[in-house]
Amino acid sequence: MSRSFAIAFCLAAVAVCATEVSARTVYRCIRDGTVSLSTAPEPGSKCEANIIDDNAAQTPNLWGEMGVFSGTLYEREQDGKLVYGTRNLPGSRVYLRFTVETPEGEPAHEGLGEVEAPILDRHARQFKAAARKTGVEDAWLRAIAHAESRFDDKALSPKGAQGVMQLMPEIASEYGVTDPFSAAQSIDAGARHFKKLLRLYKNDSTRAIAAYNAGIGAVARYDGVPPYAETQAYLQKVQALYQRYKTALAPPPLRPADATPMPSKPAVNRPALDKSDTSKPIPNKSASSKSAANKPAAKEPATNRPAKNKLAAGKPAAQEGSPK
């Protein structure tokens, strides 16, 4: 097997023969600045397990960007089991020789912009036009441009991405861009490309952003966001910027028509009741009312009133409120 990723396929196939449990596990091991692949962790190396899907259309590149090279797959015994790997460890025997061609590096990059306050005065007219044309939110387009280039129409990334929307040359060509450093052409093509990705992933913005950064192939290989550090950082950056631009571009809140705002009523400061102070009992209103109802009325002071008749004159006047 001499094509790209062939050694990973070979290791997976050997693993299937060795044990059904680890049929799709290949370890990427690093030691002294070198990389090897193995069906089990290598003693003395820092190894990371990778699960290979048997039905994957393309096996992930576990080597990295290393061009074309020839190597050897070795067989050895480890912990009572046969283990296969590409590093010549003590006790190893040659199993087969191979040549592998690793692919060029992914276009993923973290972006030139940082998460900061929204910048609303750069290419505003072009963003609004692209949003109207494609139906993609203005906030998404500005967030991508901010993360990619910080709105620099002359930006050029180490991976070769160009312009405001940092389009790779083949993507720019697909959308008819003749000048990748034209802000209008870059924003228009970037908006159409992101619209295509949203449609492809059924409006899953997370996958669409990952594909914008690392490519559709990478998202397909990993069935989701690729594990590239650049893509992970880029995704978080764009999502954070989107929220900021969505807030900044939102219309002002509605207010009642033909109305005058009224000042709010000042709060009344009432002395707080200190419940801990028990020196003065709190009067019980119901009890006070009840006791007041049963209490006889106060006597009025006696006054000298003329008697109505001789019979009444010989008796004291009845007191108001006293029992008859």
Q: What is the DSSP string of 186-242?
A: HHHHHHHHHHHHHHHTTT-HHHHHHHHHH-HHHHHHHTSS---HHHHHHHHHHHHHH
Range of weakest confidence among 50-54, 149-153, 228-232, 318-322: 318-322
Query: Rounded to an integer, what is the distance from CA 17 to the centroid of its chain?
Result: 42
Nearest to 145 by CA among 241, 52, 43: 241
* 314 lies in some domain: no
pLDDT digits (tens, 9 = 90+) for 201-242: 999 999 999 999 999 988 988 889 988 888 999 999 999 999
* 133 lies in some domain: yes
Confidence of residue 152 (pLDDT cuts 50, 70, 90): very high
- Contact (Cβ atoms closer than 8 angstroms) between residue 57 and residue 84: no
Distance (Å, whole) CA 176 – CA 182: 12
Q: Among 249, 282, 297, give the residue marking a domain's end.
A: 249
Residue 24 scores a pLDDT above 50 = yes
CATH number of residue 207's parent domain: 1.10.530.10
Tell me, yes or no, whether 138 and 229 share the same domain.
Answer: yes
pLDDT on residue 254: 66
Tell me, yes or no, whether 94 and 169 share the same domain.
Answer: no
Residues 75, 148, 174, 300: which is the catalytic one? 148
SS3 317: coil
- Contact (Cβ atoms closer than 8 angstroms) between residue 151 and residue 164: yes
Domain that holds residue 240: 124-249
Query: Which has the higher per-residue pLDDT, 52 or 305?
Result: 52
Task: Clarify whether 148 is annotated catalytic.
Answer: yes
* 295 lies in some domain: no
Distance (Å, whole) CA 26 – CA 221: 16
Residue 305 scores a pLDDT above 50 = yes
2 to 86, 203, 234: CA distances (angstroms): 15, 39, 34
pLDDT on residue 114: 79
pLDDT on residue 267: 59
Query: Which has the higher per-residue pLDDT, 220 or 287?
Result: 220
Average pLDDT over residues 146-171: 93
How many domains would you assign to the chain? 2
* 154 lies in some domain: yes
Q: Among 223, 249, 275, give the residue marking a domain's end.
A: 249
* 141 lies in some domain: yes
**Position of tokens 């950056």?**
237
Residue 293 scores a pLDDT above 90 = no
pLDDT on residue 321: 43
* 172 lies in some domain: yes
* 322 lies in some domain: no
Query: Rounded to an integer, what is the distance from CA 243 to the centroid of its chain?
Result: 10
Range of weakest confidence among 30-39, 53-62, 125-134, 278-287: 278-287
Tell me, yes or no, whether 72 and 132 share the same domain.
Answer: no
